[in-house]
Structure 1
Amino acid sequence: MSNSIPQRSATTQKAAGFTSLLVGVLALMLTATAQAANLPDFTELVKDNSAAVVNISTTQERGNAGGNMPFDERQLEQLPEFFQDFFRGPNSPYGRGAPGGQPPARSMGSGFIVSKDGYVLTNNHVVEGADEIIVRLSDRREMKAELVGTDPRSDMAVLKITDDEDLPVVSIGKSSELEPGEWVFAIGSPFGFDYTVTAGIVSAVGRSLPSENYVPFIQTDVAINPGNSGGPLFNLDGDVVGINSQIYTRSGGFMGVSFAIPIDQAMNVFKQIRDQGSVARGWLGVLIQEVNRDLAESFGLKRPRGALVAEVMPDSPAQKAGLQAGDIVLEYNGEPITLSSDLPPMVGSTPVGETATLEVLRGGDRQEIKVEIGRLPGDETAQAPTPATPDTNGGALGLMVEPLAEKARKAAGVDHGVLVSNVTQGPAVNAGIRPGDIITELNRKPITSVEEFRQVASQLPEDKAVSVRVVRQGRATYLVMKP
């Protein structure tokens, strides 16, 4: 009998190899399915929270505007060509091709309702300089909003809308409980596309930006673009944890780094504006700098940490408490200062008049210094809206007229009328009336003087279209205006 070992056939080997491959593929599929099962589903969260998110559109006089689009020309050039055509075209809602070349500047943004009685939070830069603010809800209701107040330092604005019905409101969370790696999502109107949902994770917390060191921003990788500003940032509980405010960009568009105002700080600002009409922040009165490795070694620290006092301002709370240049603040009310940027938000959130305890390193020795926190200069009052100057002779029409000079009358070929000297936001600009137009007829009544124009204008019916006959460059045309 032979002692040879039986060999497996080629067919058997192929079958075994195929089985192994199949098992491997199934294992990968099961792993992918398990991973997918752990990813968050935002569907219900979006349904539950979209109603309280609003679109905000503003108009302002061209003379006060920095531009009629929600982003500048450099940013616009980064967009696809069809977007550029949309924003620049003659039918653009941003008025680039509107008659006269000086339409009201328009901008857009987002916001959210925080109370049943109609308070809305958004960014200050969304409504800054606006003459009119319109809030549109998800059910397409549109309401004029009153600007209650703004806080440019935190880039926040508080609006008030009125409605007979109960308004949908968001649920407010706690930004202090956020941790890097958490899932978050935003709802807003990037580039005017209403109720767009984007998601990502918290990249970092407590970020200090060069433009504002009193706000410890939340950094995320949620896609934020022009139009998202002022919209809410939600956590997976459906609670608002931040207000989307800024992006880091070199192209004008989203690059994976966006910043949100923590809702804890935002609600504090909101309540102060609503209840007191002003925002008070704590003030220490020192100029600080980062402690690097070399400075840490020279001051006797084992590692870089703390905030180095470079200068103490005269008559400041710090000077009165005995703080000195060269001190390194290591703790503030028991909280460690790791980076110098940690200190300003802590001081800013301390109530004015409260005594804070600082642990400082001075001359190699640690000591405690108690400081009565003052009020940050420049925060004495929240910036309330500046009332528009009333039109002296155009009333609610949004225009000003003056007597028609003899030379202008002959040049236009008319024997009566008044000259439009200025057009602001309102029915006149919506009708297409421009400075330089000659109004010869209003509501089918001839206009021969400024006094006559004023009298006819004061008797116009509200919410009813009226005709206006204007002469422009020697040609007469009828326009329709709705006071």
Structure 2
Amino acid sequence: MLDKVSTSPRKRTAKWLGAAAVAALIAGGAVESGLVAPSPAHAELRSMSQPVQNVPSFADVIDQVKPAVVAVKVKVQNVADRDDDGDGQQFSMPDLPPGHPMERFFRQFRDQMPGRGDRGPRQERPRQFGQSLGSGFFISADGYVVTNNHVVDNGSEVQITMDDGKTLDAKVIGTDEKTDLALLKVEGKDFPYVRLAGQKARIGDWVVAIGNPFGLGGTVTAGIVSAQHRDIGAGPYDDFIQIDASVNKGNSGGPTFNLAGEVVGVNTAIFSPSGGNVGIAFAIPSSTVESVVASLKDKGSVTRGFIGVQMQPVTKEIAEAIGLKEPKGALVAEAIKDSPAAKAGIRTGDTIIAVDGQTINEAKDLSRKVATVAPGKSLSLTLWREGKERTVTLEVGSQPKGV
């Protein structure tokens, strides 16, 4: 779930900025009038005839996609109320379930706040029975709905509320904790639905987020794609889109659209040192959603490939020491006993620089690539060992639980 919003405006800052802006305008006008003679009348007409740049309207896109967006209400058991740290600080931990992959990221930031370290460990409130609110969206006419795993985790009952106010019971088809995605199903047909974008959004593209923040269903906000491939420390599969559209608690699981009405991401977290929206939100990219949802629909879970290596990044110093021209690849710290990697002869000190001919730039690239390969399939790895390239072929295993 997402952080609370602080509603306290900073009036003094706003007034100061306003005064500064007026002063700048006055000063600018004074300087200009002292150096430049008044322009003739035809110059003013020429200036007014310049084309006015249109501000985009999102109305047509919203009319098209909003009926497919739903509010998700979950009856949950044993969920700790963790919205407020209770220490008088402005930071609020997101309302995430225990063990959620993003919990470490937000906890680490909180612990680094000034004065935090001398107050001792934070005390959790007693667990209680409650309700979880989130968002979701239809991806098919026969009732499949995508949302976040942390929205439905520990849920005993799940309901969705459509844009027209109709409430329907939903069944959890499958969840994937590692990517924080879940697939629901409601009975019925001819539901309005939206499509996942086939191409990733570009930095600077306009986006529209629709969801159920604080229970206000059908709320629309807009912004741009601020960054790509964000790693927030949630795990080896971090590859988030960063957007500046306003995203709040209750938006979890809701879609972010491009101007073609396609889903480019699923909103899952915000960064909020003040407890309110600061224009930094993270969405799971549509490419990840597509592959995970297909697996959940097919078998209710996600099976990932596994080769069995502990690895670390290749720094500039390591690259120089082992004779690589540039820091790239994944340095093998250990090949787990009896794993596919160990059986293929991979050993500590090897650097995996390519998989099936595709360059591995960072260690996390290897994790992502291997995870997409079905167990039982062959994989060709290019190694850097003792100053030379070597190629080994192995059979991919199935990722054990808890890895």
What's the TM-score once normalised by structure 2's chain length? 0.75
Match of 1:157 among 161, 182, 207: 182
1:423-449 per-position Cα deviation (integer Å, ceiling 9, x unaligned): xxxxxxxxxxxxxxxxxxxxxxxxxxx
One-letter code aligned to 1:51: P
Listed as ranges, the gaps of 5+ residues in structure 2 are 1-32, 91-125
CA offset at residue 154 of structure 1?
1.3
Match of 1:300 among 323, 338, 349: 323
Is 1:148 aligned to residue 164 of structure 2?
A: no
1:40-79 per-position Cα deviation (integer Å, ceiling 9, x unaligned): 3211111100000000112224xx1223xxx612499889
CA offset at residue 255 of structure 1?
2.9
CA offset at residue 335 of structure 1?
1.9
One-letter code aligned to 1:45: V
CA offset at residue 338 of structure 1?
1.8
Is 1:53 aligned to residue 69 of structure 2?
A: yes
Match of 2:84 among 54, 70, 73: 73
CA offset at residue 185 of structure 1?
2.0
Question: Aligned pair in 2 of structure 1 residues 360, 104: CA closer, same or farther (>3 Å)?
Answer: same
CA offset at residue 29 of structure 1?
8.6
Question: Aligned pair in 2 of structure 1 residues 138, 366: CA closer, same or farther (>3 Å)?
Answer: same
Cα distance in 2 for partners of 1:189, 1:29 equals 43
CA offset at residue 124 of structure 1?
0.7
Match of 1:211 among 225, 230, 234: 234
Partner residue, 1:322: 345
Is 1:248 aligned to residue 271 of structure 2?
A: yes
Partner residue, 1:19: 39
Is 1:338 aligned to residue 361 of structure 2?
A: yes
Cα distance in 2 for partners of 1:226, 1:45 equals 23
Cα distance in 2 for partners of 1:294, 1:218 equals 31
Report how many aligned residue pairs link the two structures. Answer: 335
Cα distance in 1 for partners of 2:276, 2:309 equals 36
Question: Aligned pair in 2 of structure 1 residues 117, 265: CA closer, same or farther (>3 Å)?
Answer: same
Cα distance in 1 for partners of 2:276, 2:366 equals 31
Question: Aligned pair in 2 of structure 1 residues 22, 351: CA closer, same or farther (>3 Å)?
Answer: farther
Question: Aligned pair in 2 of structure 1 residues 322, 127: CA closer, same or farther (>3 Å)?
Answer: same
The share of aligned pairs that are identical, in percent, is 39
Listed as ranges, the gaps of 5+ residues in structure 1 are 1-12, 80-100, 381-483
CA offset at residue 353 of structure 1?
1.5
What is the DSSP-based 3-state SS (H/G/I as helix, E as strand, rest coil) of the residue aligned with 2:38?
helix
Q: Is the 8 A contact 1:216 1:345 kept in 2?
A: no
CA offset at residue 119 of structure 1?
0.9
Equivalences for 1:255-274 in 2 at 5 Å? 255-274=278-297
Question: Aligned pair in 2 of structure 1 residues 302, 130: CA closer, same or farther (>3 Å)?
Answer: same
CA offset at residue 172 of structure 1?
1.9
What is the DSSP-based 3-state SS (H/G/I as helix, E as strand, rest coil) of the residue aligned with 1:274?
helix
Partner residue, 2:393: 370
Cα distance in 2 for partners of 1:234, 1:75 equals 36
Cα distance in 2 for partners of 1:371, 1:292 equals 26
CA offset at residue 379 of structure 1?
7.8
Cα distance in 2 for partners of 1:350, 1:269 equals 13
Is 1:168 aligned to residue 179 of structure 2?
A: no
Cα distance in 2 for partners of 1:192, 1:26 equals 51
CA offset at residue 24 of structure 1?
7.3
CA offset at residue 296 of structure 1?
1.6
Cα distance in 2 for partners of 1:249, 1:54 equals 25
Deviates more, 1:255-264 or 1:221-230: 255-264
Equivalences for 1:446-457 in 2 at 5 Å? none
Q: Is the 8 A contact 1:56 1:109 kept in 2?
A: yes
Cα distance in 1 for partners of 2:272, 2:86 equals 10
One-letter code aligned to 1:124: N
CA offset at residue 343 of structure 1?
1.7
Q: Is the 8 A contact 2:79 2:127 kept in 1?
A: no
CA offset at residue 297 of structure 1?
1.4
Is 1:42 aligned to residue 65 of structure 2?
A: no
Larger Rg: 1
Q: Is the 8 A contact 1:283 1:374 kept in 2?
A: yes
Q: Is the 8 A contact 1:291 1:307 kept in 2?
A: yes
What's the TM-score once normalised by structure 1's chain length? 0.64
Cα distance in 1 for partners of 2:152, 2:278 equals 25
Cα distance in 1 for partners of 2:87, 2:45 equals 47
CA offset at residue 27 of structure 1?
4.0
Question: Aligned pair in 2 of structure 1 residues 321, 162: CA closer, same or farther (>3 Å)?
Answer: same
Partner residue, 1:310: 333
Q: Which has the higher contact order (CA 8 A, sep 6+)?
A: 2
What is the DSSP-based 3-state SS (H/G/I as helix, E as strand, rest coil) of the residue aligned with 1:18?
coil
Cα distance in 2 for partners of 1:282, 1:115 equals 28
What is the DSSP-based 3-state SS (H/G/I as helix, E as strand, rest coil) of the residue aligned with 1:131?
strand
CA offset at residue 126 of structure 1?
0.5
Deviates more, 1:201-210 or 1:344-353: 201-210
Cα distance in 2 for partners of 1:122, 1:201 equals 22
Deviates more, 1:232-241 or 1:251-260: 251-260
Cα distance in 1 for partners of 2:289, 2:70 equals 17
CA offset at residue 17 of structure 1?
2.6
One-letter code aligned to 1:287: Q
